[in-house]
Chains A and B, each alone.
Chain A
Amino acid sequence: MNSFLKFLLYLKESVRLINIISKGVYRAASREKLMYGFLILSIFFVYLAGIAFILPSAFQQLKEFGNFTPLENSLSIGITWINIFLMLISIFVTLTVLQEFLSKENLGMLLSKPIQRWHIIEGIFWGIFKILLLNCFIMSASLWLVIYYLGGRIVNYIWLATAVTLFLSMVYTSLVIFFFVLIPNAISGILAFFVIIAGFGASLIEEGKDIFINFPVWFSRLVNLGIQILPKINFLLKISMKSLKLFAIEYINIPAVIHHTVLFLACIHILFCLKFSLSKK
């Protein structure tokens, strides 16, 4: 019982320390000019989502959009843009913040204070999450305005959909941190980007795997192996481009998505906290 109480106190103190670091990270991230550039661009693209409503006949001819109403198509396009820009912001801001906070000098200053290594890395994650939350809110509010102006029948879906997108941006941030702990330079951002793209494209490749039949056997086997593995990642993250484009909220099993993503987040956090704690000291 005594050790359990000690553990609880340790957890409480850890949360306090992580919160202090996250405040510092939030401040550092909010100075990032590139983020504001992406935010302005995202608002512009979100407003362009209204084009599906303005030019419905053009969109009705497209296979992916034909079965939905113009308002639903606008919403799908808007959500996709929000997801893309949140991904870009999470990768770039995380990289910049990591380079500043995990520099030799800054680590020296922080580690001499009553704090442990894993507090710092978790603090960085939650600080970036706060800034992503703010960005996500602004983007969603823009989309809400567009949809409200166009008809306003399905406005409430926006907040639910962007909550899922925000959840996914937590995954992107975690991936960048994970790769940065392994390779502490900009390559980590590129690696994280490739993994995310792999997750997006997996389901699309699976549909077209017959194309590879005429290729040499070793090649088609390799592709098949890749296709079999990649959807596993994709299934875990539930982030296929297809499901996002068609506004997946209506038919995706949300509890399963949340369950898988939380599990994935927990695993990757344990991994990068352990790696960072055990790294060269």
Chain B
Amino acid sequence: MVILKTTNLTKEYVSIKRFRKQKCIAINDLNLELSKGEIFAFLGPNGAGKTTTMNILAGVSSPTKGNIEIFGEKFDYSKIEIKKRIGYLPEYLHLPPYYHVGELLNFYSQFFNIAKKKQQQKIDEILESVGILSQKNILIRNLSMGQKRCLGLAIALINEPELILLDEPTVYLDPLVSEKIRFLLLRLKERGCAIFISSHILSEVEKISDRFGIINKGSLIQQGNVTDLTNKGQLEEIFLRLTKQ
């Protein structure tokens, strides 16, 4: 079952330099598909268009051209009902430093109409799964970068999403926590979630993803199955070969 499908997805930015309009194509005719219970790794060098794609898929920004279908319905940023089934961890997080960890999760959980009785139990479960339950009553300003990343992940998972979009989920995390997050993602995959990960850490991506796509200068230049890779580290070889061209 296809959860996410993009057709000719294009995003252009217009800037004005010396009284002349200049077009910058951030993503160009992107065609992607993601099925239920699948982890798709979205790879690319800096400035390739990964975060722009993630923002469009999460409904934060809109494409210039092309279509997005999520859960079989046409998607744009105004579709509230579809957004209720999506979880998104952006690359840059804004976490108000004056909130306690539990309070912030409580704030974000209110958007999803979660019953008040279940709310606290759910918050505890999610904090436990990302490994920061002991920090529940700590002010966000006192968290480390890694713990903030875990909190961002907890916010993305608060609504038990069926489609999870993660932009650099394991950045700032130590190997122990990274492993914990990998197991969590595999558990979610088993539960039937479709997971779309953008990452620079290729060794990690190789361990958990089913398929990969490499984007460079806004265009998708390679897609494939991770199982087709014959030896460990081959993904990095492919990535370097394609992006150097």
Contact = CB atoms under 8 A, between A and B. Distances in A.
B183 interface: no
Interface in A59-117: 100, 103-109, 111-117
B90 A109 contact: yes
Contacts of A15: none
Contact of B90 (A112, A114, A115): A112
Nearest to A20: B110
B86 A112 contact: yes
B84 A105 contact: no
B83 A112 contact: yes
Interface stretch (B32-40, B53-61, B203-211): B53-61
Interface in A104-151: 104-109, 111-117
Contact of B94 (A20, A109, A114, A117): A109
A233 to B, nearest CB: 33
Interface of B: 55, 58-62, 77-78, 80-81, 83-84, 86, 88, 90, 92-94, 96, 98-99, 107-108, 110-112, 155, 165
Contacts of B84: 114
Contacts of A33: none
Contacts of A24: 96, 107
A221 interface: no
10 contacts: A27-B96, A107-B60, A111-B58, A111-B60, A112-B58, A112-B88, A114-B111, A116-B77, A117-B77, A281-B62
Nearest to A104: B92
A105 B78 CA distance: 19
Contacts of B77: 111, 116-117, 281
B155 A114 contact: no
B81 A103 contact: no
B78 A116 contact: yes
Given A27-B98, A104-B92, A105-B94, A114 B112 contact: yes
A248 interface: no
Q: On chain A, which size bracket covers the interface? A: 20 to 34
Contacts of A111: 58-60, 77
Contacts of B78: 116
A114 B80 contact: yes
Given A13-B80, A109-B93, 9 more contacts: A17-B111, A107-B60, A108-B90, A112-B86, A113-B108, A113-B111, A114-B84, A116-B78, A116-B80
Given A17-B111, A20-B110, A112 B59 contact: yes
A107 B112 CA distance: 17
A23 B61 CA distance: 25
A20 B60 contact: no
Given A111-B77, A115-B80, A116-B78, A105 B93 contact: yes
A17 B108 CA distance: 11
B142 to A, nearest CB: 16
B107 A106 contact: no
Contacts of A27: 96, 98-99
A108 B55 contact: yes
A31 interface: yes
A262 interface: no
Contacts of B94: 103, 105-106, 108-109
A245 B87 CA distance: 54
A186 interface: no
B242 to A, nearest CB: 28
A249 interface: no
Most-contacted residue by chain B among A28, A117, A281 (CB, 10 A): A281
Contacts of A112: 58-60, 83, 86, 88, 90, 165
Interface in A20-46: 20, 23-24, 27-28, 31
A20 B111 contact: yes
B60 A31 contact: no
Contacts of B59: 111-112
Contacts of A103: 94
Given A112-B60, A115-B80, A105 B96 contact: no
A94 B109 CA distance: 25
B111 A115 contact: yes
Nearest to A23: B107
Nearest to A17: B111
A107 B88 CA distance: 13
Given A17-B111, A107-B60, A28 B96 contact: yes
Residue from B61, B77, B80 having most chain A Cβ neighbours under 10 A: B80
B98 A31 contact: yes
